[in-house]
Amino acid sequence: MDVIQTKSLTKTYDGKGGISDVTLSVGEGIVYGFLGPNGSGKSTFVRTLLGLLQPTGGEGYILGEPIGTTKSREQVGYLPELFRYPDWLTGKQLLESHAELCKIPARQRSRRIEEVIELVGMAGRETGRISGFSKGMSQRIGLACAILNDPKVIFLDEPTSALDPIGRKDVRDLMVYLRDQGKTVFLNSHLLYEVESVCDNVSIVHQGEIVAQGAWRELMMTEAQVEIVTAGTGAVQFPPFIKSWQKGNEEEGRTRWILQLEDERDIPKILHHLSSGKVDVHEVKPITPHLEDVFMHWVNRKKESAYVDNR
């Protein structure tokens, strides 16, 4: 069963902004990236799924339960983008209140609370009042809150916005840990590198619409490039399926080339072609495309197709 499923889910604010017509399904045990620049509708989408916003169209289900029902939120954790917790509570009291709301049996509460505090790296600091917490600490206690009830699906909305590089790595590790436990993590982010390092599947959103969906690896292959260093300084006969290439610098009798590929999987074929043409290859290095470029690629493609559709 799909953990999250939506059909044309739409939430606009008086017809403007928000997010429109989202159809997606997220399977179990993966990290799903919801990727897009600020204002593209990511938070709106998640808040609609959690019943905080009333959808203006379409439908959505979490673990098979229609969104907006209390049942749909039973196995869910959430770290909001604008996290603010009652600052008169201590970190531990906050978790206790949430444990109560999640109906975690009283006997298990304190042990579970200790566990999550450990997991988010707040051990020893949980008895302080939240009013004295730094933003980073609040975000960590928020993460603890999000995973407290051992949820099947965890929504993280820009979870590293207040964290330093070490904190970011911690969050990444936490997401991987959760996935390895069979949980589904739904990650909202505008930071491409954050998505890249952990996400299995992504949706790319732009101005309230999904422009691309799929496995991260496949979406990334759009702009595959490879750098090849060949012996000699003369021209090289590349296979006919290479549409364009650039000659780089020449050094010590070797030449550097940058080849534009249709598909990363063509690399062995190129090497085969070169070696049968008696060209010595010293170096082959696939170039990971610039993430921003990949992003723009999909945005532009969507725009083009919309343009064609409109004609």
Partner 1 sequence: MWTIGKLTVKEMISKRIFLITIIMTLIFLALYGTAIYFAGKEGAEAGDGGQGTEAFLMQQFVASQLLGVGLYFSSFITALLAIMSSVSAISGEVSSHQIDTWLMRPISRSQFVLGKFLGLAFLLIAYAISLFFSIIFLHQGIGAEWMALDIEPFQMIKAVSVFAIQPFVLVAFGVLLSTRMTTLNAGIVAIILYGAAFIGGFIEQFGAVVEKTSLVNIGIVMSLVFPIDSMYRKMTILLFDSADNPLSIAQGGMFTSISTPGNIMVWYAVLYGAAAVVFSIYSFKNRDV
Binding positions for partner 1, rule: CB under 8 A: 47, 50-54, 70-71, 73-74, 76, 78, 80, 82-86, 88, 97-98, 100-103, 142, 145
Residue 206 C-beta: closest distance to partner 1, Å? 23
Q: Is 43 in the site for Mg ion (CB under 5 A)?
A: yes
Q: Is 307 exposed, middle or buried (0-12, 13-18, 19+ CB in 10 A)?
A: exposed
Residue 80 C-beta: closest distance to partner 1, Å? 5
**258, 225 in Cβ contact below 8 A?**
yes
**236, 265 in Cβ contact below 8 A?**
no
Sign of CA dihedral 157, 161, 165, 167: negative
In sequence order, the 6+-apart residues with CB closer than 8 A to the CB of 69 are 51
Q: Is 80 in the site for ligand ADP (CB under 6 A)?
A: no
**204, 212 in Cβ contact below 8 A?**
yes
> Which residues between 44 and 73 bind ligand ADP (CB under 6 A)?
44
Q: Is 48 in the site for Mg ion (CB under 5 A)?
A: no
Q: Is 10 exposed, middle or buried (0-12, 13-18, 19+ CB in 10 A)?
A: buried
In sequence order, the 6+-apart residues with CB closer than 8 A to the CB of 217 are none
State the Cα–Cα distance between residues 209 and 217, nearest whole angstrom: 21
Amino acid in the structure at residue 34: F
Amino acid in the structure at residue 38: N
> Which residues between 196 and 235 bind ligand ADP (CB under 6 A)?
none
In sequence order, the 6+-apart residues with CB closer than 8 A to the CB of 163 are 136, 139, 140, 170, 171
Residue 168 C-beta: closest distance to partner 1, Å? 22
Given ligand ADP, Mg ion, partner 1, none, residue 134, with its beta carbon under 5 to 8 Å by kind, binds none
Q: Is 201 in the site for Mg ion (CB under 5 A)?
A: no
State the Cα–Cα distance between residues 173 and 85, nearest whole angstrom: 24
Residue 55 C-beta: closest distance to ligand ADP, Å? 13
# binding residues, ligand ADP (CB under 6 A): 11
Using the rule CB under 5 A, give the single segment among 39-47, 210-218, 239-247, 266-274 that binds Mg ion.
39-47
Structure tokens that stand for 5 in this block = 């499923």
**Which string of x and - marks every residue 18-47 that binds ligand ADP (by CB under 6 A)?**
x-----------------x-xxxxxxx---
**180, 90 in Cβ contact below 8 A?**
no
Please identify, using beta-carbon distances, which residue of 95 and 195 lies nearer to ligand ADP: 195
- Do you know the residue count of the chain? 311
Please identify, using beta-carbon distances, which residue of 44 and 230 lies nearer to ligand ADP: 44
Residue 41 C-beta: closest distance to ligand ADP, Å? 4
State the Cα–Cα distance between residues 222 and 103, nearest whole angstrom: 47
Residue 211 C-beta: closest distance to Mg ion, Å? 17
The CB-nearest residue to ligand ADP is: 17
- Kindly report the backbone phi and psi dihedral angles of residue 94, in degrees, each rounded to the nearest multiple of 5, phi listed first: -60, -50
Using the rule CB under 5 A, give the single segment among 73-81, 172-180, 223-231, 244-252 that binds Mg ion.
73-81
Given Mg ion, partner 1, ligand ADP, none, residue 39, with its beta carbon under 5 to 8 Å by kind, binds ligand ADP
E-assigned strands of 84-171? 153-157
Residue 83 C-beta: closest distance to partner 1, Å? 7
| Interacting residues toward ligand ADP by CB under 6 A | 13, 17-18, 36, 38-44
| Interacting residues toward Mg ion by CB under 5 A | 42-43, 81
